[in-house]
Each structure stands twice: as C-alpha cells, then as structure tokens.
Structure 1
Amino acid sequence: MEPSNSKIAFFSTQPYDKTFFNKYNEGFGFQLNFFETQLNPQTVALIEECEIVCVFVNDIVNETVINQLAEKKVKIIALRCAGFNNVDLEAAKKHEIKVCRVPAYSPQAVAEHAMAMILTLNRKTHKAYNRVREQNFSLNGLLGFDLFGKTIGIIGTGNIGKAFSKIALGFGCKVLAYDIVESEEMKKDGVSFVGLEEIFKSSDIISLHCPLNEQTKHVINTTSISFMKDSVMIINTSRGGLIETSSVIEGLKEGKIGYLGIDVYEQEEKLFFRDLSADIIQDDAIQRLMSFPNVLVTAHQAFFTNEALTQIALVTFNNIKSLLTRNDIENKSALLV
C-alpha cells in the first residue's frame, strides 16, 4: 500500500493540529480528514474508507471502539502523543491493528513547563501581573522562597524526567529520583535515586513524570500525602490519574499541601482543549481546585511548543509510512502493537 493513497482520520483536532500536519504532509502526500470531535463509540461512525486513525490523549480507544475500527478495516492507530493508557492494546492485537506513538517529541517542552509552574507558584508572577495592571504595586502576599538548596523529588525518569532533573540541578537544587530502572547518566549528574517513600518524606517539591498504569494510578493519595513535608509543592505535567483529586483537595484544605500545579486532570477529557468560558462547568472537583489561591491549573499546555508540534507531526507521519511500507518501525519504542 502506497502512503500517498492512504487516508488518515484525525480526532480531537485543534486548529494547530491542522496547521502542523498539513504543513509537514507536503513531504508525505497522505489524505487527511480532520474531526474536531473526540473518538468514542458514537463518533467512530464518522470514519469512512480510512486505513489509519490518528488520536490524542483524551480519545477513547477501548475494546468497543477497536471492534468497530476493525469492522471498518482500519489497519493503524497512530497516537500523536507518548502516553497510551487510553488504548486497549490487547483488543488491537486481537484484530491485528498496529498501534504506534510518538515516544519523544520535545522532552524539554514539558520539563520547562514544569519548572515554569514551580516558579509561578513560588514567586506568584501571575498574581503580580494582574496587580500591576490594576496599578497595585504592593508586595504584600507575594512572598516566595529560594529554589537554591531545596530538595526536588522526581517520580519517573524517562526523557522528560531526565530533562527536568538537569533544569532542577541548574537551579542548585538537591535532586532525588525514583524509577524502576535507575539512570546511570542522572547519577553522574548528581541525582540520588531513592525509594518512593523517601521521595515523599524528603522533598520540598515533588514533580510527576511517570506514565499512568496500574502501579502508578493515584500515586499521590491520602497515604502518600501524609508522609510529605508540610507545605509541600506538587507538580503534575504527566497524566491526571496519577493524582487522587479528593485527597489533594483535603491536603490543600488542611494546609499540608502548600502549592499545587497541574497541567493534567483526571477528568480533563470533558474540559481541556475547549473554550467553556460561557458555560457552567459541572465538575465540582476542578471548580474546588481552582478556588484555592495556591493552585495553578494549565490545560494540558506543557507539550505546546513549536518544536514539539513539529516533531509530533514528523514522527507520526514517519511511523505511519514505515508501517505501510514495511509493517515495522525502526524505533521499537514507537511501536506498541
């Protein structure tokens, strides 16, 4: 099958997706169909004569959807992201549907956003910006702390965790890390690998950079929070399900959690990537979180750089081309099934 004859159905499409994928498709020649809607059991009916579907983090690609994709003779599910917890890989394997992803696009983009959230929460630059625009030049309530010398705990040391550790070390922080596989490169840089409980107990700031799976779901919960230092800062730029929202709300109310920065949220598929400014949001948990003065929420923005979107488009197209032409991908971490 020639790539130029192949049609790709994109779901959860935003304007910037169209811009970048159309731009870089000039070198591939695919036929691109863009749908703004999420892929789910109802919207799968939109697919007509497509061999490939391209999905994002909040698309639902469960067994029901995959069964319907198989009926429509879809051969490839291409994730334009690194995480794949929303895809039933066993169902895809059963129907001999290939599943690929973008394992690394710009680790620096997410790592830099994590540090930006830390600095914003600490130095309250978002509040200072609004104050000055109202001609309020008072410093009261804007007190922060030196990052230098503080202990930052990193959970998950893949490409993003590694990039973030270099940034944290550059600020003069003591960096602790936890992962199933310890990075020798990070150890040489001065990072200390410790147990998960030690991360909770010793860190002034905890940054989550691990995938979401059965072992990591709700790694931040009532028990883990109880181990943490008073006024701990928690940053999550990975997956919303790593945090048990109700436990974090209690931690904030009790003052145990001093700062929370989240770029992801467990129920984000109903909220993020949409303009809901004229709507009444029914999600009480996110409304409660946003009511805290020491909580910063960004809407899955960490990946959103020119470099990252360029890589996402190129790697996605190259993955699809490789699967169509030789049924394999040279980078084995990109091929899930």
Structure 2
Amino acid sequence: MEILAFGVQADEKPLIEKAFHGHHRVRCLDVFLTEDTAPIAVGHTVVSSSVNADLGARVLRILADGGTRMIAQRSTGFNNIDLDVAERLGLTVARVSYYSPYSVAEFAWTLAMAVNRRIVRASNRTRDFDFRLDGLMGRDLRGRTVGVLGTGKIGEAFTRIAHGFGMRLLGWDIAPNPACVELGMAYVEKERLLAESDLISLHVPLLPSTRRLIDAAALKAMKDDAILVNSSRGGLIDTGALVGELRAGRFTGVGLDVYEAEAGLFFLDKSLEVVEDDTLARLVTFPNVVVTSHQAYYTVDAVGQIVDTTVRNVLDYAAGRRSENVLVPAAS
C-alpha cells in the first residue's frame, strides 16, 4: 500500500520515509491538502495530512470519492477536520494525541524571552554594527507573575520552567493540575489572571468555547506592560483587537507562533508575493512583536514522535486495531 503524505516539510521527509520503510510505501508531497490538491489522492487508501490541511466537507468528499478510507493527521489538533462528515462518509480519522510537550513549552519561553529582552531588535542592530543599548531594556522575571491559560501537559511543562525562574504562578483551566498545584500554582478566574499577570501564555485547544478566548475585553483587562505569548492556536486571540491595543502603545511584547488566518500562509514562501492580509501585515511591523510560523513543535524529538505515532496509526488501521488516537473509527 502507498500512503500519500501532504504538507511534508523538507526536514520532515527523511523521518517519514525512514519510519515507513519496511511497512508501506510513502509518497511525500510539499503541497498542502486542499480542495485543489485533493484529487492527487485518487487511488490512495491512506492519506496523511498536516495541521494546516483543509479537511472540510468538500475535501473529504473528494477524498472519499477517490478511494481514500483513512486519514492520518500528523498533529494533535484536529479543528481543521469535519469529523461528522468524515463519519458519514465512512472515513477513519486518527491523530497524534501526544508528543513532546517540552518542544512547545520551551519555544513559548523562547518567544517570551525574545520580546522581553528585545533579542530580534538587538540582533538586527548588531548586524549593522550598531551596538547601542537604547530601547533594549528588559525586565527580570524572578518575582513577577506568570499566568498560564491551560495547564495540561504543555502548560505544565511551561509552568515548571516558570517555577525555575522563581515566578509567582497563576493558572486557569477547567480543573487544576495537581503537578502545577504542587509547584505552588494558584488557580484563579480568568479575569484575575489577566489583571495580575506580567506574562500570559496560552496552552488551551481551539474549541468553540475557547475561540477568541483573548478578545477585546480580555486584552483591555491585561496590564499595559504585560507580555502575551501564544504557541497553541491562532484562533484563541482576536488579532484585530490585538493590533488595536498595540497601536495604542500597550504591552511590553507579544510573541506569536500561530495566527488565526495562517492557513495558506504559514509553511509557505510568500516573500516574492504581495500578502493581502492587512492584519498580519500590520502585526509584523510592531517592534515589540515577534511572529514565527507555527514552529514550536518543530524539534527532532517531537517530529520523530509525531511520525512514529502516524506510522502506528496506519499499521493499526491496516490490522483492524483501534487506539486512543482514533477520532473516527472504521465503519463497521
């Protein structure tokens, strides 16, 4: 059987090919799965997709009509997949329910430190042999308050690093994480967390209940000199409202590894094109904002685990087994 993998990055391709070797053939494509590219999958029983794939109703029907019976998504998130339609079409859908939480947690801290200590601005200056310190002053984090929205595996890893910095810990989640409580985290209402935190980091999934969790009101509730970091899902923040607050001169820094309209932009080279997204174009002009292209997960450790789990998901499907990674089981 040949598996067709969409949206494969250059660094990811040898890992996928090595992992599938001896099991099934795999064909890796750098194009993303969309309505335009879905017909390429005709004749492939199994398709592997990336987090920015379009797996809405129209794409799923194209895949099903072309003979696809199983979709193996190479990510934890699955908000891009219409699971109800997949079930009606008899498509099995699996994801990667777990990979290294440290990859994302450590990158979130990379963004936080980059904006706090003005690393990008400093690096750009020194490339021009400008060694002034004007405008580069940051803040010690020890003794300051960090607010962690979402304290699952990644949020817990982020909290452990914050504890190492000697920060006061505030958390918000549907239920406390005992490991975070043991570190000294106090669970509070979201409004209090926003009002008291010097650094806020988002680690919740994108669900209808969390979409634009950080809306205009939430942004106004934050300290004027707060740092905001999002390495989870772009849809958690109302980006238009964020731009408005940044234009008003608020926030010490904002670090974003995700963007609510990133599909069709992130993972692609748009350097020779006119980007028509006015919000993103405005966002990247602020000197206190760092935007990266959804790379928090992108370590050899995490990607290796993602690929290995994807292979197991395909092998389980072929053998008729079901695991905790299955979102939509095989039609009986």
Pick aligned residue for 2:2 from 7, 14, 36: 7
1:18 equivalent in alignment to 2:13: yes
TM-score by length of 2: 0.95
* Letter in structure 2 aligned against 1:11: F
TM-aligned CA deviation for residue 113 of structure 1 = 0.5
Alignment of 1:272-287 (within 5 A): 272-287=266-281
Pick aligned residue for 1:84 from 78, 85, 99: 78
Pick aligned residue for 1:133 from 120, 127, 131: 127
Pick aligned residue for 1:260 from 245, 254, 257: 254
Runs of 4+ in 1 over 3 A off after TM superposition: none
TM-aligned CA deviation for residue 151 of structure 1 = 0.8
3-state SS, counterpart of residue 327 of structure 2: coil
Equivalent residues of 2:101, 2:153 under 8 A apart: yes
* Letter in structure 2 aligned against 1:15: A
1:229 equivalent in alignment to 2:223: yes
- CA–CA distance in 2 between the matches of 1:103 and 1:306? 17
> 1:3: which partner in 2?
none
1:100 equivalent in alignment to 2:94: yes
Alignment of 1:136-147 (within 5 A): 136-147=130-141
Pick aligned residue for 1:310 from 304, 309, 325: 304
> 1:246: which partner in 2?
240
Equivalent residues of 2:227, 2:252 under 8 A apart: yes
* Letter in structure 2 aligned against 1:315: T
Report the structure, 1 or 2, having the larger helix content: 1
> 1:298: which partner in 2?
292
* Letter in structure 1 aligned against 2:142: F
TM-score by length of 1: 0.94
* Letter in structure 2 aligned against 1:17: E
TM-aligned CA deviation for residue 260 of structure 1 = 0.9
Question: Which sections of structure 2, spanning at least 5 residues, go unmatched?
Answer: none
Question: What is the CA RMSD across the aligned residues, in angstroms?
Answer: 1.3
> 1:57: which partner in 2?
51
3-state SS, counterpart of residue 8 of structure 1: strand
- CA–CA distance in 1 between the matches of 2:239 and 2:130? 34
1:189 equivalent in alignment to 2:183: yes
3-state SS, counterpart of residue 238 of structure 1: coil
> 1:204: which partner in 2?
198
How many residue pairs match? The answer is: 328
Equivalent residues of 1:248, 1:257 under 8 A apart: no
3-state SS, counterpart of residue 291 of structure 1: coil
* Letter in structure 1 aligned against 2:12: D
Identity of aligned residues (%): 37
TM-aligned CA deviation for residue 35 of structure 1 = 2.2
Question: Which sections of structure 1, spanning at least 5 residues, go unmatched?
Answer: 1-5
* Letter in structure 2 aligned against 1:14: Q
TM-aligned CA deviation for residue 312 of structure 1 = 1.0
Pick aligned residue for 2:265 from 244, 249, 271: 271
Bigger mean CA deviation after superposition, 139-148 or 182-191? 182-191
- CA–CA distance in 1 between the matches of 2:163 and 2:313? 34
* Letter in structure 2 aligned against 1:327: R
3-state SS, counterpart of residue 16 of structure 1: coil
- CA–CA distance in 1 between the matches of 2:45 and 2:172? 40
Equivalent residues of 1:104, 1:159 under 8 A apart: no
3-state SS, counterpart of residue 67 of structure 2: coil
Listed one character per residue, the Cα deviations across residues 166-209 of structure 1 (whole Å, up to 9, x for unaligned) are: 11111111111111122112111211111111221111111011
- CA–CA distance in 2 between the matches of 1:309 and 1:224? 33
Equivalent residues of 1:211, 1:239 under 8 A apart: yes
- CA–CA distance in 1 between the matches of 2:109 and 2:312? 31
Equivalent residues of 2:7, 2:32 under 8 A apart: yes
3-state SS, counterpart of residue 7 of structure 2: coil
Bigger mean CA deviation after superposition, 229-238 or 80-89? 229-238
Bigger mean CA deviation after superposition, 91-100 or 139-148? 91-100
Equivalent residues of 1:252, 1:258 under 8 A apart: no
3-state SS, counterpart of residue 318 of structure 2: helix
